[in-house]
Amino acid sequence: MNSRLFWRAAAIQVALTGGLFVVLAVTVPHHFFDNWGIVVGPLIWVGCSLVTGRLIHLPLTFALFCAAAGGVAGTLAGLVFGHPVGIVAGVGVFAACASGYGRPGSEEPHPRKDSHAADIARG
């Protein structure tokens, strides 16, 4: 997991979803969310996840996978602990998923030169 990419993905996702929330909260009557929140919320989540994925250069299908993982985690946490906790959980899982993406051609981590892990593994 790339911690820098984790925080970048989380910040972008929070900014996009939070920005849309503010716009909708100001422009749409509250009763709209009572009737349509269950549809609008996931659509906003997926849309913002796709934009975030694009900004951090994730493949489309992987961004959708991360959106689904975050959405499921957020939904479960939201049902148990409430909507604010669900949002935090969803963003955290989305960012963790996105930060685990290894770009094609990137090198795998190698043991440090002073590491004795290879010697220990050989016995």
DSSP-derived 3-state class of residue 17: helix
Q: What gap in Å lies between CA 76 and CA 5, rounded to an integer?
A: 25
pLDDT by residue (tens digit) across 41-57? 999 999 999 999 999 99
Q: What gap in Å lies between CA 59 and CA 7, rounded to an integer?
A: 19
Residues with Cβ within 8 Å of 64's Cβ and at least 6 positions away in sequence, in order, are 46, 49, 50, 53
pLDDT by residue (tens digit) across 22-43? 999 899 998 888 889 889 999 9
Q: What gap in Å lies between CA 89 and CA 71, rounded to an integer?
A: 9
Please calculate the CA angle 17-78-32 and round it to the nearest 5 degrees: 60
CB atoms within 10 A of CB 90: 25
Domain locations in the chain? 3-26+38-101
Torsion sign, CA atoms 67, 69, 72, 74: negative
DSSP-derived 3-state class of residue 38: helix
* pLDDT of amino acid 76: 96
Per-residue pLDDT of the chain in tens (123 residues, 90 and over written 9): 788 999 999 999 999 999 998 999 899 998 888 889 889 999 999 999 999 999 999 999 999 999 999 999 999 999 999 989 999 999 999 999 999 887 655 554 444 555 555 555 565
